[in-house]
Amino acid sequence: MITSIKGGEKAIDASHRLLAKRRRGNPAIAELSVDQIREQLTLAVDRVMNEGSLHDPTLAALAIKQAEGDLIEAIYLLRAYRTTIPRFGYTKPLETSEMIVRRRISTTHKDIPGGQFLGPTYDYTHRLLDFSLLEEAEDEDGLPVSTDDTFEEMNLCYGAGFLSRTDVVEAELPSDGIAVADLTREPMKFPSKRDQRLQNLTRGDEGFLMALCYSTMRGYGRNHPYVAEMRHGDVSVVMEIPELQFEVGIGTVRVTECRTIHMTVNKPDTPAHYTRGYGLLFGHCERKALSVAIVDRALRGPEFGEERRHPSQDEEFVLSHSDSVAASGLVQHLKLPHYVDFQGELQLLRQLRDEYEKRAGQADSAENENAG
């Protein structure tokens, strides 16, 4: 039951003042600028843009500053902002095969056509605190990387491309002309379709999706993945301009794309083959791209005749609980006053106790009579 409550304005204003004071921290230390957050905390910015479902590094950085680094709060702020601006249209699908690649790896083949490039990654770091950063020494990684001056084209077709030409790997073919579901316009419906699932997972909470992905790997719905290709880089965003009726590039986005393949043997009428999972996200976020791809594949079970037995395979469970804004809203509402609910429940509890005691009293006296 919802009941309204009044008052508290003065206390709330004072609370906001304390919040601003805490956000500023020690005034003797220089204030953090939004530009600094955008340029130097890029992975936090990327997470906020993904789950906030809005690509705008400056606004994501502002949200992080305003939320004192609470990324789930920042995600909420960015989502809320998106609803205040008009939508001018939908873009053409990103041509990720034409990405300006900053990183690209494959775990299925040592020599993939075009080569593998580690790019910037924490994968091969020692994961020891680097005290030189504490001393505010110039970060070596911040300096320009020395390169040679000759330029040679990179030719990076998709990994597993040659596999795709056989029937070993599932082909994903375009199905244009069908309306694309949009969760910002119409709510999720079950049974869900792939477009709804991929949009939901893209916006979903990284921790929740990673835990589900982890559960599939530990045996709760086994679908062992190989990363056919993980790439990160810049892609042009192309949109048909309504008043001109031709397609124009409006800017570039940095994205992470993960393509997984999973051995699938379940259906008796199909030979064993590899099926696919997919994750495409704004910014650089490989942990989440992997999680999205593997959960995407887990939710495709019915297509391949797989039994639905574990949480990661249950679309209602996964898709209804993936959103951090919805989850945080319901969980945090528990901190708001519930005085009337509680009084109501307390009355019920007292009534139940009275009845219990009455029953107990009757049982006691019945026992006494029997004994007597």
Q: Which of residues 258-277 bind other proteins (CB under 8 A)?
A: 259, 276
CB of 82 to other proteins, least distance (A): 6
Q: Is 5 exposed, middle or buried (0-12, 13-18, 19+ CB in 10 A)?
A: exposed
Question: Cβ 128 to other proteins, closest distance in Å?
Answer: 21
Binding mask 219-248 for other proteins (x = CB under 8 A): --------------xx-xxxx-x-xx-xxx
CB of 208 to other proteins, least distance (A): 18
Select the residue interacting with other proteins from 211, 250, 352, 366 (CB under 8 A): 250
- Select from 9, 138, 140, 153 the one that contacts other proteins (CB under 8 A): 153
Tokens at residue 28, please? 């003797």
136 or 153: whose CB is closer to other proteins?
A: 153
Residue 372's identity, in one-letter code, is G
Rounded to whole angstroms, the Cα distance separating 105 from 96 reads 15
In the complex with other proteins, which residue's Cβ is closer, 220 or 237? 237
DSSP string, 339-350: HHHHHHHHHHHH
Question: In the bound complex, what is the minimum distance in angstroms from residue 243's beta carbon to other proteins?
Answer: 6
Phi, psi of 330 (to 5 degrees): -70, -40
**Nearest distance, CB of residue 250 and other proteins, angstroms:** 5
Establish if 148 lies at the interface with other proteins (CB under 8 A).
yes
Helix axes 324-332, 71-82, angle to 10 degrees: 110
Given candidates 7, 13, 140, 151, which one binds other proteins under the rule CB under 8 A? 151
In this chain, which stretch among 40-48, 141-149, 325-333, 339-347 interacts with other proteins, using CB under 8 A?
Answer: 141-149
Binding other proteins by CB under 8 A: which of 16, 21, 24, 92? 92
Q: Which of 4, 175, 368, 370 forms a contact with other proteins (CB under 8 A)?
A: 175
Q: What is the DSSP letter of 31?
A: P
Site for other proteins in 23-82 (CB under 8 A): 49-50, 53-56, 58-59, 82
Per the CB < 8 A criterion, the answer to whether 31 and 7 are in contact is no
180 binds other proteins (CB under 8 A): yes
Count the site residues for other proteins by CB under 8 A. Answer: 89
User: Rule CB under 8 A: is residue 181 a binding residue for other proteins?
Assistant: yes
CB 54 within 8 A of CB 78: yes
According to DSSP, residue 249 is labeled: E
Nearer to other proteins, 132 or 184 (CB): 184
- Among 13, 136, 138, 176, the residue binding other proteins under the rule CB under 8 A is 176
Does residue number 212 form part of the binding site for other proteins (CB under 8 A)?
A: no
State the burial class of residue 259 (Cβ atoms within 10 Å of its Cβ: 0-12, 13-18, 19+): buried
The Cβ of residue 112 has, within 10 Å, a number of other Cβ atoms equal to 21
The CA distance from 136 to 121, in Å, is 22
d(CA 10, CA 329): 24
DSSP letter at 169 equals: B
Q: Does 291 bind other proteins (CB under 8 A)?
A: no
Counting contacts by CB under 8 A, is residue 257 touching other proteins? yes
Near other proteins by CB under 8 A: residue from 69, 72, 168, 195: 195
Q: Quick one: tokens of 274?
A: 């590899």
Residue 112 is which amino acid? I
Q: How many beta carbons lie within 10 A of that of residue 282, not counting itself? A: 24
Residues 327-356 that bind other proteins (CB under 8 A): none
115 lies in the binding site for other proteins (CB under 8 A): yes
